[in-house]
């Protein structure tokens, strides 16, 4: 059974830093791209970042580029999101998801339960 377990959420001050983790099990982690998707309170889903299976390619939304860094440790089957220079509008539930790509389609077929990140003074 595929499982993604989010951890690391916290309340931080603006300008602060935080690292989220996502522990994967039930599939060959090193064979799959992964992604982070967030959801601000009462708002819709917002793609944040994706990383290739090897970790050699990373992609970011314009709203987090330069502040967030996605990485992975395939030996530990774990995905990370390092967040710096946090802003109030980064407050959200952060989900990790398995990221699948085909020629004319992309989809997130498994999701973690989410980690709550609050940014407030």
Q: Count of CB atoms within 10 A of residue 56's CB?
A: 7
Residue with Cβ nearer other proteins (7 or 16) = 7
Residue with Cβ nearer other proteins (56 or 102) = 102
CA separation, residue 89 to residues 10, 35, 92 (Å)? 15, 20, 8
Largest CA distance in the chain: 45
Residue with Cβ nearer other proteins (99 or 119) = 99
Min CB(93)–other proteins separation in Å: 9
Min CB(104)–other proteins separation in Å: 5
Which residues touch 69 (CB under 8 Å, ≥6 apart)? 58, 81, 82, 84
Min CB(13)–other proteins separation in Å: 26
Binding site for other proteins (CB under 8 A): 35, 37, 44-47, 50, 59, 61-62, 95, 100, 102, 104-114
């Amino acid at each position: 059974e595929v499982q993604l377990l989010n951890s690391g959420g916290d309340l931080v001050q603006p300008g602060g830093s935080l690292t989220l983790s996502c522990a994967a099990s039930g599939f060959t982690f090193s064979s799959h791209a992964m992604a982070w998707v967030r959801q601000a309170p009462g708002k819709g889903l917002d793609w944040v970042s994706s990383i290739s299976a090897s970790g050699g390619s990373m992609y970011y939304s314009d709203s987090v580029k330069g502040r967030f860094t996605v990485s992975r440790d395939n030996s530990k089957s774990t995905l990370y999101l390092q967040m710096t220079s946090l802003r109030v509008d980064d407050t959200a539930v952060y989900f990790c998801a398995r990221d699948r790509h085909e020629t004319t389609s992309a989809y997130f077929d498994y999701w973690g339960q989410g980690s709550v990140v609050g940014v407030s003074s």
